[in-house]
Amino acid sequence: MVNMDDISLCKANIAKEEYDAIKDVLDSGWLTHGPKTIEFEEMFANYIGVKHAIAMNSCTSALFLALLANDITGDVLVPSFTFVASANAIVTAGANPVFVDINYSDCNINPEELEKYLTPNTQAIMVVHFAGQVCEMDKISEFALRHNLVLIEDSAETIGGTLNGRKSGNWGIGCFSFFPTKNITTGEGGMLSTDNDEFAEKIRTLIGHGIRKTTIHREKSAVWHREASIPGYNFRLSNINAAIGVEQMKKLDYFNQQRNEHSSYLIDKLKNVEEIELPIPNENKYHVYQMFTIKVQKNRDRLVHGLRNKGIGASVHFDPPVHLQSAYLKYNVNSLPVTEKVSKEILTLPMFPQLTKQQLDRIINSLLKCLNHV
């Protein structure tokens, strides 16, 4: 049974604006892909700074189509330190994941490791921006360009995160998640970003059964004419979900600012605790703290359980890493010492915009008690 005083790991920020937007859509009668979906896409594209943003039912679908629409059937360089959806998209698209180690400091893919795994069969790189901090995209994008590799950004955890002012999803094909744990939510949902007109057209066709024109686009012509040009999928985002997304986009920068302020407070209060390693702010990056993670070199599991027993919704992201999961053992040919070390030390503390100072202090005090500091 849930204790109302418990502090959850994450909490979606849904207010009256979202409820009103849902009601408006329900009253309109246009429930599937429609005007709000288009509005959401335009807002998102402008925010990221790209020509096209294409809404769909999940980030996983976006990752899958980023590969499928580029005819990627060879090797894809990808970190193992990620949610399994990243690797699942590679395999289900008919390609082969090649797992690459990460940096210890930010848990992002190590660009210095990429050359090690490059072969004539390498066709793409899928980076994963971990917990709200952008990868070293200047180095990675240069590497991808030099070797003619498709660059895909799993930006599920880093909506609004930047490197030198440039947002995630702006270097390669951006893939975003609107799951309730993310910086904004639509319940379920995803987005793909790109500057390539032809590629965007193909993605729009693939998400709608291979039919380019949706019902709303056929309204002024032969509305009954539904001709598939390629075999496709039903990956569309509904008008209901998109209406939530439009309202969430209006608040995104504020949400990210709150996450930053909460994280700065935690870092300041915990900076002298020797047993833990805190996130390291980077002056060239804007970290949007989709998760607030620390590293604990000893007794991590016991600490997680101790915090949860005190009503603090602590968790672990990610253990085991993908290359040690049963479905992916056959792909486990690389030595990934940093990934395996981090997976045994990482611990995720609650982080969401609505956290109060009282709750932040409770998280801090509970952590110190579990570490036997008080």
- pLDDT per residue over 96-124, tens digit each? 999 999 999 999 999 999 999 999 999 99
What per-residue confidence (pLDDT) applies to 5?
87
Place of tokens 């500057």: 195
What span, in angstroms and rounded, lies between the C-alpha atoms of 103 and 236?
A: 35
- Identical topology for domains 16-250 and 252-370: no
Residue 350, both tokens: 């609650």
> What is the DSSP secondary-structure string of 179-199?
-TTSSS--SS-EEEEES-HHH
pLDDT of residue 332: 74
Whole-angstrom distance, CA of residue 46 vs CA of residue 19: 24
DSSP per-residue codes, 35-96:
HHHHHHHHHHHHHHT-SEEEEES-HHHHHHHHHHTTT--SEEEEESSS-THHHHHHHHTT-E
Q: Which residue has the higher pLDDT, 372 or 125?
A: 125
DSSP 218-267: HTTS-TT----SS---B-PPPHHHHHHHHHHHHHHHHHHHHHHHHHHHHH
Between CA 211 and CA 41 the distance in angstroms is 19
Where is pLDDT greater, at 344 or 281?
344
Q: Where are the domains of the chain?
A: 16-250, 252-370
Distance separating alpha carbons of residues 49 and 109, to the nearest angstrom: 24
pLDDT bin (cut points 50, 70, 90) of residue 226 is confident
Domain 16-250: assigned CATH number: 3.40.640.10
Using the predicted structure, report yes or no on whether residue 218 has a pLDDT greater than 50: no
- Determine the pLDDT at residue 215: 54
The CA-to-CA distance between both ends of the chain, in Å, stands at: 28
- DSSP state letter for 285: E
pTM: 0.95
Going by C-alpha positions, the residue among 104, 100, 103, 102 that lies closest to residue 117 is 100
- Select from 169, 138, 133, 102 the least CA-distant residue to 281: 133
pLDDT (0 to 100) of residue 227: 84
182 is catalytic: yes
* CATH 1.10.3720.10 correct for 252-370: no
Q: Which one from 167, 182, 202, 295 is the annotated catalytic residue? A: 182
How confident is the model over 196-216, as pLDDT tens digits?
999 999 999 999 999 986 655
